Structure 1
Amino acid sequence: MKNNVPALGQRWISDAEPELGLGVVIEVDARAMTVLFPRSEETRVYARANAPLTRIHFGAGDRIEDADGKSWQVLSVQEQHGLFRYNVRDDAGDEKALAETRLSAELHLSRPRERLLAAQLEARHWFPLRLAAAREGQRLAQSPVRGLMGARVGLIPHQLSVAHTVASRLAPRVLLADEVGLGKTIEAGLVLHAQHRQGRAERVLVLVPDSLVHQWLVEMRRRFNLAFSLFDLERCAALAEDGDNPFLSEQLVLAPLSLLTDHPHLLTSASEAPWDILVVDEAHHLGWSPEESSIEYDVVATLAERIPGLLLLTATPEQLGLESHYARLHLLDPARYPSLEAFIEEQDGWHATRDLADALIGGEPDADSSAQLAGLLPDLALKLDQTEGREAALKALLDRHGLGRVLFRNTRAAVGGFPARESHPLRLPVPESYATWIAKGAIWPETRVDEEVWLADDPRLPWLAAWLKAHKRDKCLLITRTAPVAEALETWLRLREGVRTAVFHEGMSLLERDRAAAYFADPEGGAQILLCSEIGSEGRNFQFARHLVLFDLPDNPDQLEQRIGRLDRIGQRHTIQLHVPLLDGSAQARLFRWYDEALGVFSHCSPTAPTVHEYHLAELKPLLRPAADESALDELIGRARGLRETLEADLAAGRDRLLELQSCRRDLAEPLAQALAAQDDDTGLDEFMLAAWEAFGVHVEDHGAARTWILQPGEHQLIDAFPGLDPDGMTVCADRATALSHEDWHFLTWEHPMVRGVLEWLAQAPQGSVQVAVLRNRSVKPGTLLLEAWYEAAVQAPAALALDRVLPAEPLRLLVDARGRDLAPQVAAASLAKQLDVPEIKLARSVIKAHRDDAEALLVSAEKLAAAGVDAARTSARTAWLALEGAELDRLKALQRVNPAVRDSEIANAEARLAQGLAALDRLQMSLHTVRLIIAA
């Protein structure tokens, strides 16, 4: 076909200005041709001899649009009187002939085949960048740490273990109940990040106490790049003005729980929105008893009935007693925990499982233990004489007969690495203004007199001022019960003593509290002391300080542990110094003895302290009065200490031992940590992003710190909104340790929004899909044409299936010669690349135009070879999918037979997921991703 001879009605595209769209020839003479570009309403006159134009010619299998915007698939093509006539078929199966003159002027040449034949080329750097993006994208899809590598967190085993276990479930419903300071928020963020990245949780609702709203907002964005939208009453009212449900306006929503408890109509709106996961922090505030439930509990229960996934966070799962603990587990899984009575009966059934677990850990079990294991795990071929066999048995035992399906609780004792605690009680004289109240047993006498009086008389104030002046280089946190006391202390210290102070209480706005915390955290000119009301004892992290002043003592040990937990956290490198100024002979002095000697909370975190305190509370209260017999208090302290030690031993041997084994699975955590560490050390990300920034025109400056760069929008940037780039510039760091110490820098990983945006852009945009190269090899005859093509396995399926995990790990590479043979097995890509030169675009286009028919024949051969490989790719993917999801389904079925914690809905969802994936893989096709035409010189 002489399709390069211009004729009226032909469709051509400008090589220099492809953005003009398809042009139509409207005039031809001996020397010139005139082309109208309807899309841009431009007319150009070109010399026929060297017009920078390419004739558009579609082939069988191409998708085209007609002038009415309807899409068709080309079946065949003929040329009549210089014009192409396409035989096409639409999606409904209707066929017709479509003249070239009826093609849409809006048609974009995006497929590599079309762009090659139309000689649509770009600068040489795009080709390797696009190819690298395809390879890295598929490698990341199959990474064992997919969803975990993008978080700015330390590689802490117990957090990785919990996150991986929970995130791998469909619609997880769990209670994250690690002890104070072990990172429950980080675990929840890791789960959300992983589920979001895997397409399993697109819509998330997070409900937290009012005091923690901004902390969550900042943590989710700073650590996990999850951009939650903050919802308050004002925003909801504005969004609902048109009658729309405000909770449908965003995918990731963060709100105070009070928004729904105080406004029932908003609860209705929230419950009608299609959420994937609900997260509730500080879940111990969800009060419940057999007689009544709190409004907070009822709100969460209403949402939990409708939302598939549920994460409850609390550091004190049994703070309000066994009944309240049961109530939270009932929220998670009513079928598993149907009644309080059944739950109580179950408490003593864990010792046998613990003993078998210890037997497996200790080596080959004896005959009796082996027989018990065989009875509990009848479907497994137990090989207890082998290490691998014992590990498999332990994993199955904990999975089927343990506690960790719903409850995850890591303890400080199991995790280790926490600092010691030292308490410094200081007994001070009782001022005259307090004497009457002290005698009556008042625990907090400062609240019984005028502010001016206690500020003038209380001996704790001059002691505090003197201590601060003697320790000017030390940061100090002070927590007291009420906002008025915190405010009064801050004013007194700042105005009278000249101490740099900050105050933090519930009467301040969230922004004011965040600013106060930031001022306190500033190591140079920041506040020496932060004075908090009780609101400062929940959720906040101040582990950069080591001194805590307990100006007063709360009336329950869990609240005291919450206070201490602001400093005693992962990351604390110093012994915690607890300063407790006490009025001699007061009820608070006796309360200190109770907490210290009976409950032991000043020396360590005791999980049984709330239980022991509640058990003896009725006896304790009258003994706190100064007039009470102190020997009776001594006797009570002795009994309480004995009970606490017994309970701690029982927990360590029973329930907590099982939770320890299940909540931190070392067999999972260590490989995950190693894989993440290896990913951190891989500098391939640096090379890829430096090439991407250069290609897109982003201005890059080396910061000087390890693997750190300063980015600014470039003057000639390819796209106005480069993915993830702040218009005002930003600093990015690819070194985890450096990024953890510079929270204002972005932690650059393969899962950072900027990197993901570049990968997605390169996968969808046409840039780099075509290249022409000249082969410099004397053994190859000059003029020989080769076609190097890369094909990707493509499936149409919901993102939540994450089928890319089982697709081929590398694009299919073909090297086709004129005889239709694939030379790729004999000629490695790297070896061939060293022998190639990339000519200037003008010369490259002339090569394509001169050999267009030959190039089209090579493409046809490549398509046939790729089609022949579809069956192998499909079979491999199906096998991998069955191994991945089928094994999980078998595990769930085996688990359900012995553990009712596995819901029928989980089994049904897993079965549907397996079938849906297999059906999608049956439709797998090989799609041309990148193509290079090679001519030997």
Structure 2
Amino acid sequence: MIIERSSTWKEGFIERLENRESWDNWTLYKMSYDVVKTNLITDFTGLQSPKYLPNLTPLPHQLEVAQTVIERMNGKAILADEVGLGKTIEAGLIMKEYLIRGLVKKALILAPASLINQWVEELNHKFYIPAIAYRKNYGLDHYNVVVMSMDMAKRSPHKEHIYEQDYDLIIVDEAHKLKNHKTKNYEFVQDLKKKFCLLLTATPIQNNLFELFHLISLLKPGHLGDYETFQAAFSASKHNWENDEFLKVLVNQVMVRNRRQDTGIEWTSRRVQTIPIQFTQQEKEVYDMILELKNISPEFSSPFTMITLQKEMCSSKEATYLTLNEMRQKCTDPKVVRYIEEIIQKLVALEINAKAEKAYEIITEANDKVILFTEYRASQAYLQWYLHSKGITSVIFNGKFKASKRDWMKQLFKDHAQVLIATESGGEGINLQFCHHVINYDLPWNPMKLEQRIGRVHRLGQEHDVHIYNLAIEQTIEEDILELLHVKIDVFEKAVGELDSILSTFKQSI
């Protein structure tokens, strides 16, 4: 670089000196002074961003979260508010604040594919942040704020292009999907340069304590020590540990969590029921035959296979048939094939689905819009047929749908159908405050999936009490699922904090 002394000032100086011209323009100076003063940030405490957001009125708890993350956590935090309290708004406020202050110039938001358009729309219209949804032919060098799906980002060549960028801020939505530290998702985020980083999840623990350890280690490596140190210091196992209060202190240094009751907003209530169901004699006979499979052949002694079949049988014969038929085709033992065919014959002959009848009874009594969650697409198809035969209109919603079809199904549900039959992935990221009845037709092993399902309706804007119906068939694997769900809820509450009700008391229900 060559530095030369400039002499261009001389002409103007001599002209003003000899011709007695004015040396300045007070009006222009005052205008310039006012502009600089307006943009000057003299104190790092407090938020500047709200005055630049005419289309947004943040709630007090959202402003408090943004200020806490910036002033106390140095921009590295888990935003763990309960579902529906506006974690996206909080993240947008933090990003806007850093952009205004010049501390962030480039940002990357990683989100499920179904939520990308929602992120882009909110950042552009609510925060005046020029975000774009990444496409395969885009060059990352030319865009400062990019929203991308995790599935695309972790694959080549996108992964390498991302690593080449100097991102100041990384935001990961639905961050509980990073719970397994052995996955490509986790490794990808771990390798990102993270000057500032926000992990958004209402459920930082889903199954066990070590998920929280790995999430915090991703955000701030060493904050809880290494794995062995953490395990020894807290005598930690998956569902038990010591020094509860000390662990909470460490966790709260990197995690902000608001519950609905903490926000000062008047929320409607949750009314949760766990409803016991009895199989018909014919259904019970098929279920017992399935249990016997593990004794018929070592080929079917795998716990995963048996658990899958039991859960499917508690859902629908259609879901069960698909798995049994696949097993029959792969089996080489004629004796076992005959036994599977006997099960299939009895399965096909079933005329009653006790759980579907109970769901229909609930839907009829509700006489209002209902979301019904199942884990199997075969059960989805059956339930739509069954409800149609009873005169109930419904639409299907699952993760295979593209964004446009998801929006269309949501609109059909709002305007025309009484029931939305959704799978787990189908229910992700949709806001359905106009509905206030949820049937958990199939129970997941993970209690946080129940919280996510309920959060589709029990969120800001809900004007009615929300009714939750958890269906469980007696003397089946669903009793075991309920017991484990209560154990995992206890783990969450000990490490993170109390949950809103998602299950009614087990012993009163079954």
TM-score under structure 2 length normalisation? 0.71
Cα distance, 1:167 vs structure 2 = 3.2
The answer for the alignment partner of 1:300 in structure 2 is: 189
Compared CA separation, residues 456 and 294, structure 1 to 2 (3 A): same
2:80–2:258: 8 Å Cα contact kept in structure 1? yes
Aligned with 2:49: secondary structure? coil
**Structure 2 residue 395 is matched with structure 1 residue 502:** yes
3-state SS in 1 of match to 2:401: coil
Correspondence 1:223-234 to 2 at 5 A: 223-231=126-134
What residue number does 2:464 align with?
574
Distance in 1, matches of 2:73 and 2:57, equals 26
Q: Deviations over 1:529-552 (max 9, x none)?
A: 222111144433323322001111
Q: What is the distance in 2 between the residues matched to 1:71 and 1:486? A: 79
Instruction: Tell me if the contact between 1:420 and 1:576 (Cα under 8 Å) persists in the aligned partners.
Output: yes
Q: Does 1:76 align with 2:14?
A: yes
Q: Deviations over 1:626-668 (max 9, x none)?
A: xxxxxxxx9xx88xxxxxxxxxxxxxxxxxxxxxxxxxxxxxx
Match of 1:607 among 484, 488, 492: 492
Match of 1:264 among 156, 166, 176: 156
Counterpart of 1:443? 311
Aligned residues between the structures:
435
SS in 1 for 2:170: strand
Give the CA deviation at 1:580. 3.5
1:147 counterpart (35, 49, 53): 49
Matched, 1:159 2:159: no
**Mind listing any 5+ residue stretches in structure 2 that lack a counterpart?**
1-7, 235-241, 292-309, 324-346, 497-504
SS of the aligned residue for 1:254 comes to strand
Structure 2 CA distance for aligned equivalents of residues 267 and 336 of structure 1: 27
Alignment of 1:513 onto 2:451: no
Q: Which runs of 5+ in 1 are unaligned?
A: 1-69, 87-110, 117-126, 240-245, 355-400, 612-633, 639-937
Please say if 1:410 is aligned against 2:252.
no
> Which whole-Å CA distance do the structure 2 matches of 1:434 and 1:332 have between them?
48
Pick from 111, 114, 132 the counterpart of residue 211 of structure 1: 114
User: What's 2:353 paired with?
Assistant: 458
- Aligned pairs (5 A) from 1:326-405: 326-344=213-231, 347=234, 351=245, 403-405=251-253
Q: Alpha-carbon deviation of 1:298?
A: 0.7
Separation of aligned partners in 2, 1:78 and 1:556: 79
Cα gap change, 1:439 to 1:413, in 2 (>3 Å) = farther
| Aligned partner (choices 573, 581, 586) of residue 476 of structure 2 | 586
Q: SS of the counterpart of 2:197?
A: strand
**What whole-Å deviation, never above 9, does each CA across 1:222-255 have from its counterpart, x for those lacking one?**
5434342111xxx32x23xxxxxx2112111011
Deviation string, structure 1 residues 291-311 (Cα, Å, up to 9, x no partner): xx21111100111xx231111
Q: Which residue of 2 aligns with 1:776?
A: none
Counterpart in the other structure of 1:178 = 81
* 3-state SS of 1:76 partner: helix
| Contact 2:114–2:403 (Cα < 8 Å) also in 1 | yes
In structure 2, do the counterparts of structure 1 residues 173 and 586 end up closer, same or farther at CA, with 3 Å as the change threshold? same
Shift of 1:147: 0.9
Note the 1:233-252 alignment, pairs <5 A. 235-236=135-136, 238-239=137-138, 246-252=139-145
The question of 1:532 aligning with 2:435 is answered no
- Gap change, CA 1:476 and 1:114, over 3 Å in 2: closer
Q: Counterparts of 1:518-917 in structure 2 under 5 Å?
A: 518-520=411-413, 522=414, 525-588=415-478, 590-591=479-480, 594=483, 598=486, 607-608=492-493
Q: Find the counterpart in structure 2 of residue 194 from structure 1.
A: 97
CA contact 2:433–2:458 (8 Å) conserved in 1: yes
CA contact (8 A) 1:599 1:609 kept: no
**Structure-2 separation of matches of 1:455 and 1:186:** 50
- Aligned-partner Cα distance in 2 for 1:217–1:519: 24
Output the CA distance in 2 between the equivalents of 1:595 and 1:571: 32
CA contact (8 A) 1:193 1:226 kept: yes
Change beyond 3 A, Cα 1:333–1:484: same
Give deviations 1:804-851, integer Å, cap 9, x for gaps: xxxxxxxxxxxxxxxxxxxxxxxxxxxxxxxxxxxxxxxxxxxxxxxx
Are 2:399 and 2:423, in contact at CA under 8 Å, matched by a contact in 1? yes
User: In structure 2, how many angstroms separate the alpha carbons of the residues matched to 1:593 and 1:403?
Assistant: 28
Whether the 8 Å CA contact 1:78–1:85 is kept in 2: the answer is: yes
Pair 476,135 (structure 1): closer, same or farther in 2 beyond 3 Å: farther
Secondary structure of 1:549 counterpart: strand
Once residues 342 and 205 of structure 1 are traced to their aligned partners in structure 2, the CA distance between those partners, rounded to angstroms, is 32
What CA distance in whole angstroms lies between the structure 1 residues aligned with 2:356 and 2:158?
46
- Per the TM alignment, residue 273 of structure 1 is displaced from its structure 2 partner at its CA by 0.8
Q: Match for 1:146: what amino acid?
A: Q
Per-residue CA deviations over 1:492-525 (Å, capped at 9, x if unaligned) read 54x54554433221111122213323443x4xx3
Q: CA 1:410–1:71 in structure 2 vs 1: closer, same or farther (change >3 Å)?
A: same
Closer/same/farther in 2, CA of residues 203 and 352 from structure 1, 3 Å limit: closer
- Considering fraction of residues, name the structure with more helix: 2
* CA distance in structure 2 between the aligned counterparts of 1:218 and 1:435, rounded to whole angstroms: 53
Aligned counterparts of 1:170 and 1:71: Cα–Cα separation in 2? 48
**Does the Cα contact within 8 Å between 1:280 and 1:311 map onto a contact in 2?**
yes
Distance 1:166 1:248 in 2: 28
**Structure 2 partner of 1:317:** 204
Q: Is the 8 A contact 2:80 2:201 kept in 1?
A: yes
What's the CA shift for 1:194?
A: 2.2
DSSP-derived class of the 2:457 partner: coil
The 1-side partners of 2:224 and 2:440 are apart by 39
Q: Please give the alpha-carbon distance, in whole angstroms, between the structure 1 residues aligned to 2:289 and 2:477.
A: 9
State the Cα deviation string for residues 257-276 of structure 1 (Å, max 9, x = none).
Answer: 11122x23211110111111
* Rounded Cα–Cα distance in structure 2 between residues aligned with 1:592 and 1:534: 17
Q: Alpha-carbon deviations, 1:188-229, whole Å to 9, x = none?
A: 222122222333222110111233323333343454343421
Q: 1:292-344, CA deviations, whole angstroms, 9 ceiling, x for partnerless residues? A: x21111100111xx231111122222324333322222222225344123334
- Secondary structure class of the residue paired with 1:443: helix
Contact 2:270 2:466 in 1 (8 A): yes
Asked if structure 2 preserves the Cα contact closer than 8 Å seen for 1:433 and 1:453, the reply is no
Larger Rg computed on CA atoms: 1
Cα distance in structure 1, aligned partners of 2:494 and 2:251: 22
CA contact (8 A) 1:284 1:314 kept: yes
In 2: Cα distance, 1:321 partner to 1:600 partner: 7
Distance in 1 separating the partners of 2:86 and 2:434: 16
SS of 1:449's partner is helix
- What is the RMSD computed on CA atoms of the aligned residues? 4.4
TM-score where L is the length of structure 1: 0.41
More strand by share: 1
Taking a change above 3 Å as real, the CA distance of residues 557 and 349 of structure 1, as seen in their structure-2 partners, is closer
Q: Is the 8 A contact 2:375 2:424 kept in 1?
A: yes
